[in-house]
Amino acid sequence: MSDIVLLDTTIASFLHPKKKDSDVRKLYDPDLKGKTLALSFQSVAELWGWAEEKNWGESSRRSLDAFVRKFLVIPYDYELAQVWARVMTASRKEGRKFESGDCWIAATAVHRKIPLITHDRDFNKRSIEGLNVVTHVKTF
């Protein structure tokens, strides 16, 4: 599975054609090249949440649907729920807050044993067993 990488929702949004010239997107190009790009079911829900919140029209929703279908979508399963519980507990033990949605994304990466590519500081420098984070976010 080393050719599969999990994208967090922000990285997925950077890949939308409207953001093709983004400098931040370009930072991640070497990490994505030649890889199978995957999304957690949670990221799919978050992307659709944006469409709902912004009251997108039918054309934009069709475009989003076509965009999301380009990715390997990793669904929920029973074992993933168990991994989510372990990741959330490990996060609390290290004294760091983890939003439920971010925890589902991290748990998906841990469960599937694939790197998580993110541009979200909330994933940085966590001591969660099996979480392999790739990021170009500067930590302070």
pLDDT in tens, the chain (140 residues): 459 999 999 999 999 887 878 888 899 999 999 999 999 999 999 999 999 999 999 999 999 999 999 999 999 999 999 999 999 999 999 988 889 999 999 999 999 999 999 998 888 888 889 999 999 987 64
Residue 46's contacts (CB-CB under 8 Å, 6 or more residues apart) are 9, 101
The identity of residue 24, as a single letter, is: V
pLDDT in tens, 27-41: 999 999 999 999 999
> CA 116 to CA 130: how far, in whole Å?
11
Q: What pLDDT score was predicted for residue 1?
A: 45
Q: What pLDDT score was predicted for residue 139?
A: 64
Q: What pLDDT score was predicted for residue 61?
A: 95
Q: What pLDDT score was predicted for residue 2?
A: 59
Q: Which residues pair with 41 in a beta bridge?
A: none
Q: What pLDDT score was predicted for residue 75?
A: 97
In the CATH scheme, what architecture does the domain 4-135 have?
3-Layer(aba) Sandwich (3.40)
CA count, 13 A, side-chain hemisphere, 43: 29
pTM of the model: 0.92
Q: What pLDDT score was predicted for residue 110?
A: 97
Cβ atoms < 10 Å from Cβ of 47: 19
Q: Domain map of the chain by residue range?
A: 4-135
